[in-house]
């Protein structure tokens, strides 16, 4: 997988992201990272969610994946 990261030294992130998104159109997925003011480009239909699911789809069947029960965490003494 290839991801391209871009940063603009002068434009605010919101403006830069809108320009990048409109320029890329349907040719790329665009997201942004507020911590570093980066705009991220990846192939169409390749999102963070599809990337995280890729190893699950290729390494095991859906019958192996099950949600874990949520249990309350014990509270520490203050």
Within a domain: 11? yes
Residue 57 lies in a domain: no
Quick check: is 66 in a domain?
no
Within 8 A by CB and 6+ apart from 42, the residues are: 1, 2, 3, 4, 28, 29, 31
Tell whether 73 is covered by a domain: no
Please report the pLDDT score of residue 37 as a whole number. 84
pTM of the model: 0.59
Residue 62 is assigned to a structural domain of this protein: no
How many C-beta atoms surround the C-beta of residue 3 within 10 A?
Answer: 14
What is the domain extent for residue 7? 3-50
Domain-embedded: residue 8: yes
Q: Which residue has the higher pLDDT, 12 or 53?
A: 12
pLDDT digits (tens, 9 = 90+) for 27-72: 999 999 877 889 999 988 887 777 667 655 555 555 554 555 555 5
Count: domains in the chain: 1
Q: Is the dihedral of CA 14, 16, 17, 22 positive or negative?
A: positive
Is residue 24 a part of any domain in this protein?
yes
Residues 5, 40 contacting (CB under 8 angstroms):
yes
Order of strands, sheet of 38-42, starting from the edge strand that comes earlier in the sequence: 3-6, 38-42, 29-33
């Amino acid at each position: 997988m290839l991801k391209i990261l871009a940063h603009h030294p002068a434009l605010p992130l919101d403006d830069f992201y809108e320009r990048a998104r409109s320029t890329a159109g349907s040719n790329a997925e665009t997201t942004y990272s507020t911590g570093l003011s980066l705009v991220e480009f990846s192939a169409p239909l390749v999102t963070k969610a599809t990337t995280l699911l890729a190893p699950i789809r290729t390494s095991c069947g859906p019958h192996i994946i099950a949600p874990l029960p949520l249990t309350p965490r014990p509270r520490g003494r203050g």
